[in-house]
């Protein structure tokens, strides 16, 4: 078989067969070319969307839910309807210890503050945070560092500010770390500047200060604004949310059926919807691409059937000269596989050019729709394997047709 593939006469016959009707050959190949081009283009676009989405949430623990207190809608145990619910640090400890599947519980506080540096000022969101926040909502630091445990323990007046504040309050190229800013009349030392992400889940924070410092300055005591609960990857974040809310209702003496007492936003649930959409899109892409490939390969089979009909006398001569049915079948299958492979390679090359063009048009900048739209080498090999398999199978149909006619009948064919 290997010697047959490297035989010059084999490929001369393939070329003669294709060149007898060039237009028909080209039209036949277009179907496979378009199928592989569509498959590569759609898969690359789906990967680009996935990369864009992953970049958007890349530094965020997506298996998370935000929970905050609101007002009760039902009276319960002597408390009237409309009671304001405030979460506390003791609630955080109980939730962390008693709800299965929790990886982190991050308490947070927030207010607005007038921030001044020299003669420049602005009003920004100021959040009291623990170092743990950086584990679940990673900050991309441009200068300095994030809050650490020493800042918490010593109630330090330090601040990590956003890039936007840095641009508003500092001159260009000024090193901000170690500089002082005034937040609501109190001096804070800047220890870091972070780049604002494309997405900010939960209330936006322009400035982060130590949680304990926030408590002391704003006289918060044990109360907190909201908690961010992050579940372990193998646990269902929806169930974690239900369990956490049930426990918080019991801790705060809230009616079991009061659904208004706590507000929440389940990032994990929303993230699952988008990932589900991406998986569905990839499945649809494979389905459409392979269906188009099959249609193109079937067209090749149909054209080869016509070619076999036209070459009936030639095949009869070869049979009369001693060519075996296997040799006839092998030649026709090689022609089918060759046509599909050439069409597939051209489709892959064209698809690659299209993905490069898409990346140049839609994949640049922070707001890129498609980030690195591409397909893996594995996908390319899989597509080529599918083509070779389909080409072989479809080539067997005209091959068997060619050998089904007796040599004497084939020689009589006009």
Q: Which residues contact 354 (CB under 8 A, 6 or more apart)?
A: 37, 40, 41, 44
Give the confidence band of 118 by pLDDT, cuts at 50, 70, 90.
Answer: confident
CA diameter of the chain: 107
- Check residues 216 and 37 and name the one with the higher pLDDT: 216
Tell me the C-alpha to C-alpha distance, in Å, between residue 374 and each of 45, 261, 274, 289, 344.
7, 47, 20, 16, 17
Give the number of other CB atoms < 10 A from CB of residue 404: 10
Q: What is the pLDDT of residue 414?
A: 47
**If you search the block for the tokens 């009589």, which residue do you land on?**
412
Percent of the chain with pLDDT over 90: 32
By CB atoms closer than 10 A (0-12, 13-18, 19+), residue 210 is buried
Q: What is the pLDDT of residue 378?
A: 83
pLDDT tens for 155-170 read 999 999 999 999 999 9
Domain limits of the chain?
Answer: 2-57+273-412, 64-264
| Lowest-confidence pick of 84-98, 179-193, 335-349 | 335-349
**If you search the block for the tokens 């530094």, which residue do you land on?**
59
The Cα–Cα gap between 414 and 411 comes to 8
Q: What is the pLDDT of residue 269?
A: 83
Angle at 258 (CA atoms; ends 252, 262), nearest 5 degrees: 60
Percent of the chain with pLDDT over 70: 78
pLDDT tens for 234-254 read 889 899 999 999 999 999 999
Judge whether residue 53 has pLDDT over 90. no
For the residues 253-277, what does the mean pLDDT come to? 86
pLDDT tens for 329-363 read 777 777 777 777 888 888 888 888 888 888 887 77
Of 51, 141, 52, 140, whose CA–CA distance to 367 is shortest?
52
Q: Report which DSSP code applies to 368.
A: -
Q: Between the ranges 85-94, 134-143, 313-322, 365-374, where is the mean pLDDT highest?
A: 85-94
Helix count and strand count (H, E) for the chain: 14, 12
């Amino acid at each position: 078989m290997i010697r047959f593939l490297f035989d010059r006469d084999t490929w001369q016959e393939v070329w003669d067969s294709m060149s007898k009707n060039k237009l028909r050959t080209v039209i036949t190949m277009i179907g496979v070319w378009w199928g592989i081009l569509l498959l590569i283009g759609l898969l690359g676009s789906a990967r680009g969307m996935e990369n864009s989405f992953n970049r958007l949430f890349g530094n965020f623990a997506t298996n998370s839910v935000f929970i905050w207190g609101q007002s009760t809608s039902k009276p319960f145990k002597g408390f009237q309807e409309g009671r304001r619910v405030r979460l506390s640090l003791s609630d955080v400890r109980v939730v962390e210890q008693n709800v299965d599947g929790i990886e982190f519980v991050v308490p947070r506080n927030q207010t607005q503050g007038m921030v001044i540096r020299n003669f420049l000022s602005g009003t920004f969101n100021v959040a009291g945070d623990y170092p743990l926040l950086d584990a679940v909502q990673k900050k991309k630091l441009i200068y300095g560092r994030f809050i650490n445990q020493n800042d918490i323990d010593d109630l330090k007046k330090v601040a990590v500010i956003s890039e936007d504040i840095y641009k508003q309050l500092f001159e260009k190229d000024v090193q901000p770390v170690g500089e002082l800013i005034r937040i609501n009349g109190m001096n804070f030392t800047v220890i870091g500047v972070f780049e604002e992400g494309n997405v900010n889940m939960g209330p936006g924070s322009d400035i982060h200060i130590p949680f304990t410092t926030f408590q002391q300055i704003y006289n918060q005591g044990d109360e907190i604004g909201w908690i961010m609960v992050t579940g372990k990857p193998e646990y269902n974040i929806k169930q974690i949310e239900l369990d956490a809310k049930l426990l918080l209702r019991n801790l705060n003496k809230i009616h079991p059926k009061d659904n208004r007492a706590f507000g929440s936003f389940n990032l994990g649930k929303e993230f699952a919807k988008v990932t589900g959409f991406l998986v569905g899109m990839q499945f649809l892409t494979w389905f459409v691409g392979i269906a188009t490939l099959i249609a193109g390969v079937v067209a090749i089979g149909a054209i080869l059937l016509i070619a076999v009909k036209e070459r009936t006398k030639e095949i009869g001569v070869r049979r009369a000269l001693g060519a075996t049915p296997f040799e006839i079948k092998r030649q026709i299958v090689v022609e089918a596989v060759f046509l599909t492979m050439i069409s597939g390679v051209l489709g892959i090359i064209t698809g690659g050019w299209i993905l490069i063009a898409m990346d140049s048009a839609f994949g640049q900048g922070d707001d890129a729709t498609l980030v690195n739209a591409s397909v893996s080498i594995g996908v390319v090999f899989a597509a080529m394997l599918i083509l070779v398999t389909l080409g072989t199978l479809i080539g067997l149909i005209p091959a068997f047709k060619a050998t089904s006619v007796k040599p004497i009948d084939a020689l009589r064919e006009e």
